[in-house]
Chain A
Amino acid sequence: MTKYNNLIYFFYSLSTSFFFFILLFLLINFEKALGFFSIFNSSTPSLVSIVIYLCIRKLNFTPSNTLMLILGILNDIMASVNLGVSSIFFLLIKLLTENLSSLNLDNNSQQSWFSFTIIFSLSIFAIVLINIVINLSIPDINPLLFHIGTTLILFPIINLAIDLIFFISKLIKTNP
């Protein structure tokens, strides 16, 4: 019986991960396609990092490390960056968010935004350092600041939207 239960759990987790993979893959494509808009001329916001953070903190769903690795490599292929750079970024976001979750901090929207800012900034700083070491030159800071700025502006909007969805679904459940 336990064997069957394990098998069912394995397939359940596999299907959840597959669904999450498809979702993030489409999101990566969407993120890249935003570059066609003149407002995102220099760089596009990192929507994937927001989704990873909110999944761990709000939905209590922890994506696997392997999934992060594969998604990062796919992102690198699409952006033609050195293979492994985005994987490090996603793995760092996941690692730091998990560590934050283990601290059991209050999950209000202000604190959430503040903790995301720290996690995102630390991860992007690590990636910038790696890129400087690889290219042996310092890149232009404007696209980088735009990337960080737009991501941090979009975070509370997405966070609020998820809260609103939760609120509406709760209302529907309580008032049939």
Chain B
Amino acid sequence: MVSSKPSNKKAFKENRNFNFILILLCLLLVFLGKLDLIAMRNIKAFLFDFWAPVTDVVNKPIKDIAVIFEDVKSTGSLREQNLKLKNENRKLKALNIKAKNQEKELLELRELLNLLPKFKNKIVTGRAVTAPGGVFANTVLINAGRDYGIQIGQPAISSLGLVGYVVNVGLKTSRILLTIDINSMIPVYFNESNWPAVAKGNNGELLEIKFLSSDALLIEGETVETSGHGGRLPPGINVGKVVKGFSGEFYIKPSVDFQRMTYLSIITNKEKISGNYKTFQGFAPLQKPKPSFVFKGLDSSGTRQKGSEN
């Protein structure tokens, strides 16, 4: 197994040639892996399952030390944090009352429109086995797999919002591709400016905005949710907020703190709320009008309104 010493010139040359051949073989393997063959995926899933307990055992002490470090670090700013939390609590109390009123109004409007009910999500929660940091990939391994009904493509969430989606499933483990990964693309919707787009990861802290209409005028600080386009991810999951970069370009800052993920939930399937909604009766919801300047007495299309003639 140990290669010969460099002093032996012939052996050194042979060794170097072998090294070159292996590099070429690896390159071939890389491009084969990109083809996303089912056999390759299965091998990976098996190896994840096999190595997960070992990784878990080796990572545990380091993870515990990291937690102690973070705790010690946070004790220095306890007073500051306490004041901040008190302020936040006061604001949240006011918001809670407002939200309750709006929820009541929303339910009444839903009933009036005879709107189709929302799907009830079934959630499976697993513990993160690995840390998310990486130069070329941002993924997390969790200790729940096919035996809990997890499948490829299902979204992973935390209490703060969307974390990513499942890309590989073993019997006991699942690999989650984080939204910040370069291979991640999420169909999103901007809540205030009402535009759909795609949020693309870049292995950095922010998400790039792709396929956004050239007419779109984004608002800094507006919330971004999953749009549900394509049917892979359910709509309405919080993704993050719009932020402006140094170059004046807009980005999305994920709401999830990827460093503090201990447990992740996977939305495994949807259970429909019982009830017969086939006989749909009611008014179709109006589309939001285009914000345009309208003269008094004219409608948005520019024609004179009937009432204005009198």
Contacts and interface: CB of A to CB of B under 8 A. Distances in A.
B147 to A, nearest CB: 20
A64 B3 contact: yes
Interface of B: 1-6, 12, 15-16, 18-20, 22-23, 25-34, 40, 44, 47-48, 51, 54-55, 58-59, 62-63, 66-67, 69-70, 73, 130-137, 139, 141, 167-168, 175, 177, 182-183, 202-205, 259
Interface string A22-54: 000010011011111110111110000000000
A82 to B, nearest CB: 4
B139 A84 contact: no
Given A62-B5, A88-B27, A144-B135, A80 B204 contact: no
Nearest to B54: A29
Given A35-B131, A79-B137, A98 B59 contact: no
A130 B136 CA distance: 11
What interface size band does chain A fall in? 35 or more
Classify the secondary structure of A's interface with B. helix
Contacts of A32: 55, 59, 130-131
Interface of A: 13-14, 16-18, 26, 29-30, 32-38, 40-44, 60-69, 72, 74, 77-85, 87-88, 91-92, 94-95, 98-99, 101-102, 127, 130-131, 134-135, 137, 139-140, 142-144, 147
Nearest to B9: A102
B62 A135 contact: no
Contact of B22 (A35, A65, A79, A98): A65
A79 B134 contact: yes
> Which residue among B141, B203, B205 has the maximum number of chain A CB atoms within 10 Å of its CB?
B203
A160 B31 CA distance: 40
A29 B58 contact: yes
Contact of A140 (B18, B25, B59, B203): B203
B3 A77 contact: no
B29 A84 contact: yes
B70 A38 contact: yes
A79 B139 contact: yes
A83 to B, nearest CB: 5
18 contacts: A13-B2, A29-B59, A35-B130, A35-B133, A35-B134, A65-B3, A66-B1, A72-B26, A74-B51, A80-B137, A81-B134, A82-B30, A82-B34, A85-B26, A88-B26, A91-B26, A92-B23, A140-B204
Most buried by A among B1, B34, B183: B1
Nearest to A130: B30
B136 A81 contact: yes
Nearest to B131: A35
A111 B182 CA distance: 36
Contacts of B131: 32-36
A16 B22 contact: no
